[in-house]
Chains A and B, each alone.
Chain A
Amino acid sequence: MRAPLPRGPVSAQVLSWLKGRVAPDVPHVRRLLQEPSADIICDEDRQLTLWTLYELHYTGFDDIGAGWEWSPECLAVRRVLETEFEHHMRASTRDTVRAVCARAGGVAERLFALVLEDDSPSLGRYIQRQADRSEAVEFLIHRSIYNLKEADAHTWAIPRLTGAAKVALVELQYDEYGTGNLDRLHSQMFADTLRACGLDSSVGAYIDEVPAVTLSLNNGLTMFGLHRRLTAAAMGHLAAFEASSSQPSRQVARGLRRLGFPEPAAAYFDEHVEADAVHEQVATRNICEVLVTQDPRRSEDVFFGAAAGIYLDARVAGYVLNAWATGRSALLPELPAPDVLGA
């Protein structure tokens, strides 16, 4: 994948470092980030910068050296962005997390209740009943940012778990990674879906078209995956993610068939109806419940991760549905050339 286009002064600066055009200047970027964002979830410049820095830990960019992954300058910028982003996620979910922590019942039961009680607008229902073809295509483009590296962020938790929770996560991830069969690798199945719908299935093909809110969903997950202190949040996120997947996947599969997309397009979503009905049980009971039994102090972060996942998902759905309701595209207009931003 090629590096993305910058979206503001911070991403322009950082991308210039990564491409070797200017020497890293952390104090300069800190100054640019001094004023807190009005809404970090929809802050194009901040989310794109964080996404770019995080991508260095996945498969990276063809035009950026792999050595940048652990550069102190990149980590310093990442830290500033992460602190602001985590603070926002914690503040936005504080009441929910408090309520669920105070509630009676097991961890799994409370995780399922958290998902069930989420009454934010449903993208799945819209795709099933109302979306037209171009909206369905936009939906797949939004999803492509995560689904082409599906499950990878949660894999970072494996060496940080012990005992039964580790066994359960590996069992779940083995299924995500195709149980030894490339055709069943979930990211590969999503690539097949994209191709069946006439879309580009290469990683990062649509990065310059996807708005900050969708990057924030990915960045939240990557943050939980990369930081050992947030492992419980990563697993809570996984549980909420799996527990809120079967029904929307069924709806999306129906929507794609209603719109006449070729049959392979819906196969990925069919698979997720079934797979995630398994994974939600494994993630809630065999991972999260076990984690909290091993160390009760983890319960708050398990619920924080779950609530944050639900929150970010709702922000994406709200943004996309609002754009469509007002007759607009939910993708970005063409970005300006890098030199306009001084990159």
Chain B
Amino acid sequence: MTSERPAVVHVTCCPDGPFLVRGADVIRDEDGVDHATHRPVVAVCRCGKSTRKPWCDGMHKLLPRTPPTPRAATGE
């Protein structure tokens, strides 16, 4: 790894899921606490239910979806 800072931070919003953040060194949470990133891409909680905030822990999958997305069309 070089000591150069990444020029760009990429943030991707996953539908019904977290923000995927690439290129960030630190995520600052709502209380102003800094959390260093330890992996090349991190998932930041967007639903508020994570038990490991600010990181996503998949809890959003247990929540009812909002807004409801069309699914369960069963072909023919």
Q: Determine which of A99, A112, A247, A278 lies in contact with B43 in the assembled complex, contact meaning CB atoms within 8 Å.
A: A278
Which A residues, 270 to 292, have Cβ-Cβ distances below 8 Å to chain B? 273-278, 280-282, 285
Closest to B1 in A: A180
Say yes or no: is A102 at the interface (Cβ < 8 Å to chain B): yes
Indicate if A246 sits at the interface (CB-CB under 8 A): yes
Is B70 positioned at the interface, with any CB of A under 8 Å from its CB? yes
Chain A nearest Cβ from B41, distance in angstroms = 6
Most chain A C-beta atoms within 10 Å of own C-beta, residue among B15, B51, B55, B57: B57
Q: Could you give, for residues 31-72 of chain A, a 1 whenever the CB lies within 8 Å of some chain B CB and a 0 otherwise? A: 000000000000000000000000000000000000000000
**Residues 1-16 of chain B, each 1 if its beta carbon lies under 8 Å from chain A, else 0:** 1000000000000111
Is residue A179 within 8 Å, beta carbon to beta carbon, of the partner chain? Answer: yes
Query: What is the minimal beta-carbon distance from A139 to any residue of chain B, in angstroms?
Result: 20
Q: Are A277 and B40 in contact (CB under 8 A)?
A: no
Q: How far is the CB of A70 from chain B (nearest CB, A)?
A: 35
Determine whether the beta carbon of B76 is less than 8 Å from that of A282.
no
Partner of B76, one of A102, A180, A247: A102
Contact residue among A99, A104, A275 (Cβ-Cβ distance under 8 Å from B39) = A275
- Contact of B61 with A112 in the complex, beta carbons under 8 Å: yes
* B57 and A277 form a contact (CB under 8 A): yes
A/B pair count, beta carbons within 8 Å: 77
| Docked pose: A33 CA to B27 CA in angstroms | 57
Query: A278–B15 contact, CB under 8 A?
Result: no
**Chain B contacts for A280, CB-based, 8 A:** 58
Known: A105-B70, A184-B38. A278 touches B75 (CB 8 A): no
A-side contacts of B62, CB under 8 Å:
247
Instruction: Find residues 146-200 in chain A having any chain B CB closer than 8 Å to their own CB.
Output: 171, 174-175, 179-180, 184
- Report the nearest A residue to B39, measured CB to CB: A175
B14 near A281 with CB under 8 A, answer yes
Nearest CB on A from B63, distance (A) = 11
How far, in Å, is A189 (CB) from chain B's closest CB? 13
CB proximity to A under 8 Å, residues B24-53: 38-43, 51-52
Are A273 and B20 also in contact (CB < 8 A) when A174-B40, A278-B42 are?
Answer: no
B75 touches A102 (CB 8 A): yes
Q: How far is the CB of B11 from chain A (nearest CB, A)?
A: 13
**List of A residues within 8 angstroms of B61 by Cβ:** 112, 116, 247
Asked whether A179 and B38 contact (CB < 8 A) given A274-B52, A277-B18, the answer is: yes
* CB of B66, distance to nearest CB on chain A (Å): 15
Asked whether A113 is an interface residue with its Cβ less than 8 Å from the other chain, the reply is yes
> With A102-B76, A103-B74, A277-B55 as given contacts, are A109 and B15 in contact (CB-CB < 8 Å)?
yes
Contact A281 B20 (CB under 8 A): yes
**Measured between alpha carbons, how far is A276 from B57 in the docked complex, in Å?**
8
Q: Which of B20, B39, B61 has the most CB atoms of chain A within a 10 A radius of its CB? A: B39
> Could you name 20 residue pairs across A and B whose Cβ atoms are closer than 8 Å?
A102-B73, A103-B71, A103-B73, A112-B16, A113-B71, A246-B57, A247-B58, A247-B61, A247-B62, A250-B51, A273-B52, A274-B52, A274-B56, A275-B39, A277-B43, A277-B57, A277-B58, A278-B43, A281-B17, A282-B41
Residues of B within 8 A of A (CB): 1, 14-18, 20, 38-43, 51-52, 55-58, 61-62, 69-76
Q: Which residues of A contact B (CB under 8 A)?
A: 99, 102-105, 109-110, 112-113, 116, 171, 174-175, 179-180, 184, 246-247, 250, 273-278, 280-282, 285
9 further A-B pairs in the complex, CB-CB below 8 A; given A104-B70, A109-B15, A179-B39: A102-B75, A110-B71, A113-B71, A171-B40, A175-B39, A247-B58, A250-B51, A273-B51, A285-B14
